[in-house]
């Protein structure tokens, strides 16, 4: 997405001294940094060591993308079984040949100064963050749901009017309600709103609309499995009888 900033990329790069950007250049310098943008979830010991090293070398560390913020899709299976059990189930062996950890966002391990959510990130949101940094500030963090942007655009509410399983009420804004604007319900690709998400209420609303608990649990976990409220709710639902599927 950063490289897709075709019209702005040259201006942007002329204002930055890029030390490492492996997707864009083989030039790579391990040095002290003003700002590190880190993507990907922490899912190996090696990755964790690398993250800690980057944190030590950086004045500001920014997590970009849902993997780096919450762990994203690969965190869906977290807490379901230990790695030992999983190895036994898949390979019929108990040894852990892979140095894997349950996927988590960066803030589970190190201090993070800013999170830019999205799967993928929005390139303009990234650009605005860099512009704020160049002016010596961190950008404003959005702490309200996609529904706010949906209402500001005067889109029809797909949840209320059509009974579609929209997650807009618990997902952090910033996409300008892209999907509802196209008549598609929000699947939550920007992740839940930190400290504000009421996942239990979303569960109740979707149940009232006729969706069963298993379907709702999987939908909530898709991008938000590591989010505290969703993890708690999923555990509670998993203890109950599994549901029958979608609506
Ligand atoms: S369509 Fe979705 S995002 Fe828009 S107001 Fe309804 S619930 Fe919120
Ligand atoms: S509406 Fe939801 S799924 Fe669509 S881009 Fe926004 S956060 Fe992602």
Task: Please give the model's pTM, rounded to 2 decimal places.
Answer: 0.90
* Banded pLDDT at 229 (limits 50, 70, 90): confident
Give nearest CA residue, ligand 1 atom 6. Answer: 157
Q: Which of 144, 145, 148, 150 to mutate to test the pocket of ligand 1 (most atoms within 8 A of CB)?
A: 150
Ligand 1 midpoint to CA 150 (Å): 6
Whether the predicted pLDDT of 244 surpasses 50? no
- φ and ψ of 130, to 5 deg: -65, -40
Question: For 129-140, b where at least 16 C-beta lie within 10 A, e where not — what string?
Answer: bbeebeeeeebe
Nearest-CA residue for atom 8 of ligand 2: 189
Q: Give 186-212 pLDDT, tens digit per residue.
A: 999 999 998 878 889 999 999 999 999
What is 9-134's CATH superfamily? NADH:ubiquinone oxidoreductase-like, 20kDa subunit (3.40.50.700)
Res 241: pLDDT: 54
Tell me how far apart the alpha carbons of residues 59 and 179 are, in angstroms, rounded to a whole number.
Answer: 36
Phi, psi of 190 (to 5 degrees): -95, 0
Non-local CB neighbours of 154 within 8 Å, separated by 6+ positions: none
CA 104-110-112 angle, to 5 degrees, is 95
State mean pLDDT over 61-71: 96
Rounded to an integer, the average pLDDT of 115-130 is 95
What is the number of the ligand closest to the CA of 119?
2
Give the distance (Å) from ligand 1 centre to CA of residue 112.
30
Q: What are 133-187's pLDDT values in tens digits?
A: 999 999 999 999 999 999 999 999 999 999 999 999 999 999 999 999 999 999 9
- Measuring CA to CA, which residue among 198, 233, 193 is closest to residue 217? 233
Residue 246: its pLDDT value, please?
46
Please report, for residues 48, 70, 103, 227, the alpha-carbon distance to residue 100 in angstroms, rounded to integers and kept in the order given. 10, 17, 8, 20
Which ligand 1 atom is at minimum distance from the Cα of 147?
8
The structural domains of the chain, with segments of one domain joined by +, span: 9-134, 146-239
Ligand showing the shortest atom-to-Cα distance for residue 169 = 1
Give me the mean pLDDT over the 235-239 stretch.
81
Of 72, 177, 197, which is best to mutate to test ligand 2, by the most ligand atoms within 8 angstroms of its C-beta? 177
pLDDT confidence bin for 46, thresholds 50/70/90 = very high
Whether 228 has a pLDDT exceeding 50, the answer reads: yes
- Structure token digits, residue 95: 């040894």
Region 58-78: mean pLDDT is 94
Residue 153 Cα to ligand 1 midpoint, Å, equals 11
């Amino acid at each position: 997405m950063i490289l897709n900033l075709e019209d702005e990329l040259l201006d942007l790069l002329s204002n930055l001294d890029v030390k490492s950007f492996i997707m864009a250049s083989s030039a790579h310098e391990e040095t002290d940094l003003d700002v590190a943008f880190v993507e990907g979830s922490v899912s190996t010991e090696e990755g964790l060591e690398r993250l800690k090293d980057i944190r030590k070398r950086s004045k500001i560390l920014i997590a970009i993308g849902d993997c780096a913020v919450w762990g994203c899709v690969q965190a869906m299976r977290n807490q379901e079984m230990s790695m030992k059990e999983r190895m036994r189930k898949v390979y019929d062996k108990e040894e852990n040949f892979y140095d894997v950890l349950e996927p988590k966002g960066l803030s589970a391990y190190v201090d993070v100064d800013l999170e830019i959510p999205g799967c993928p990130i929005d390139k303009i949101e990234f650009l605005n963050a860099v512009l704020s940094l160049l002016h010596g500030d961190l950008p404003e963090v959005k702490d309200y749901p996609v529904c706010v942007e949906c209402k500001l655009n005067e889109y029809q509410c797909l949840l209320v009017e059509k009974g579609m399983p929209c997650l807009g009420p618990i997902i952090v804004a910033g996409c300008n309600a892209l999907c509802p604007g196209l008549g598609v319900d929000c699947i939550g690709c920007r992740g839940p709103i930190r400290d504000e998400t009421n996942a239990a209420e979303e569960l109740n609303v979707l149940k009232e609309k006729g969706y069963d608990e298993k379907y709702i649990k999987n939908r909530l976990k898709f991008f938000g499995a590591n989010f505290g409220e969703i993890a708690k709710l999923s555990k509670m639902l998993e203890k109950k009888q599994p549901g029958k599927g979608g609506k």
